Amino acid sequence: MTRLVRLAAAAALLLCAPALTWSQEPPARQYSPEQIDRLIIRAQSGSAVIRPQAAERLARIGKPAADRLYAMAGTSLGELALLGPSLIEVLGRFDDPRFRALLWPAMEDAEFPWRPAVSRSLAHRPRAAEWDRLVGFLEDPIAPVRLATLDALALLSGGDDSEGAASFDALAAARLGDENDVVRRRAAVLLDGRGHSRALLWLLEDLQRTDTYFDLPTGEAARYAAVNALQSLDIDLAGFEAFVPPAAEPNQVALAKLRERLLARASAAEAKLPEAARELVPRSVPAIARVGGPVEGARLGLLLKSCRRGDYYLRWTDDDQLIIGYGNPARVQLPEGTTARLMAVADAAQEANPGKVYWGRPGCDMESFRMPRVGEPAEARLQQLILSKDERPAPDLRPAGLSALGAAMAASIPGDDALDSTDPRTRSLARRVRGAFASIGGPVEAR
């Protein structure tokens, strides 16, 4: 049960839902305005299970629901945001130009809180004229936006011999180096469907991951996601089991067989491609997508999840390394004593708030300061201080001690000239982390 709970937590942190491809159907019966309003209320304030179900029913109703939602969406992004993510996500299903005129300004506003929902809504039935506009969002800081954009461009790219297909294939191949493993897996699946089956070796790599981010089993979650992706392609996994460690003998045998099958699939697919297109997918998986070794001696962690600025997984080790990301993370050597100084600030933050471990309200913004304690009992070994909020501003959310800790953590990140500018995880890292802090609980500063 503990493993399942941890997997669920990891999935909530790591996984991004791909763009949905429902088809609008005629309503089975007529709905009164009162019934439509009740469905809208459920889509806004029901449980996590009820909200998307109610929104889907509204999409199936068609024009009467569209007219009501359009009236509620108003004329400003603030009014549109009040619809909430479940309703925004289905607006694109109505195939109503009025909604696209509302959604695109929201997509292009970095401060709009529900941009992942907007991107999935726009991806339902993308327009050919939107191609160039969409391409820019493949570099968006939010992984779910990049994911939905991939799906939208795939729908637009046309047949195998079209110019759009070749353009899309190159764009998808570039996403094989995305910093988010969910985006990489989606790019691999899409490329396989277009004859570039060598990309499935990215999923084979994920099957071998055992990495963790403190208590989060990030590698195990990746193994399950890769299994699901391969099974969706009707690929026989040769007996591989995601819940069994990859190093176990049965899984090692299965991985060897699966590698042979995937290479044979790639060779057969490449033989049908034009010669110039056969080298689109690299012959080897890049470092960012490879299996990484264990992270030893992590003494402090910072997990930032901003619904506007993206996600950041940072760790500081007792030998003064900054570990950036999960899977095969980037590693940066810091000056001697950096981690010890940060731990002193972390201790002071805890002492200033005795017994307090949570501030705010549940939502899409979160700061989690993680402090494993060596030698403590298992149940007390990982201490966390968590701030969380929804899309509404909360300028006084972060207490002074945690603001000082956040400022110290951000200040410890080297400047751009000391980091690898080719690695998307380290590019402009200090600036992006400060932006995520500001988006969640306000700017971090020592007080």
Domain ranges of the chain: 1-14+144-294, 17-125, 298-441
Quickly list DSSP for 388-409.
EE-SS--TT-S-HHHHHHHHHH
At 225-257, the pLDDT tens digits run 999 999 999 999 999 999 999 999 999 999 999
**280 burial via Cβ count (<10 Å: 0-12, 13-18, 19+):** buried
Contact 211, 221 (CB under 8 A): no
Sign, CA torsion 411/417/419/424 = positive
pLDDT for the residue 165: 77
Containing 256, the helix (H) or strand (E) segment is helix 249-270
At 324-365, the pLDDT tens digits run 999 999 999 999 999 999 999 999 999 998 889 999 999 889
What does the alpha-carbon distance between residue 317 and residue 247 come to, in Å, rounded to a whole number?
A: 26
Please report where in the chains the tokens 């996984």 appear, as a residue.
15
Please report where in the chains the tokens 């790599």 appear, as a residue.
205
At 404-421, the pLDDT tens digits run 999 999 999 999 998 988
**Residue 98 has which token pair?**
């009025």
| pLDDT tier, 374 (very low <50, low <70, confident <90, very high otherwise) | low
**Going by DSSP bridges, is the β-strand pair 382-389/358-360 parallel, antiparallel, or unpaired?**
parallel
**Residue 33 has which token pair?**
């305005």
- What's the pTM? 0.90
pLDDT for the residue 445: 74
Using a pLDDT cut of 70, give the percent of the chain over it: 90
| pLDDT tier, 95 (very low <50, low <70, confident <90, very high otherwise) | confident
pLDDT for the residue 380: 53
Using a pLDDT cut of 90, give the percent of the chain over it: 81
- Beta bridge pairs of residue 322: 316, 332
pLDDT of 5 higher than 50: no
pLDDT for the residue 14: 45
pLDDT of 140 higher than 90: yes
List C-alpha distances in Å: 74 to 36, 118, 418. 17, 16, 47
pLDDT for the residue 390: 86
At 20-74, the pLDDT tens digits run 344 444 445 688 999 999 999 999 999 999 999 999 999 999 999 999 999 999 8
Containing 206, the helix (H) or strand (E) segment is helix 201-206
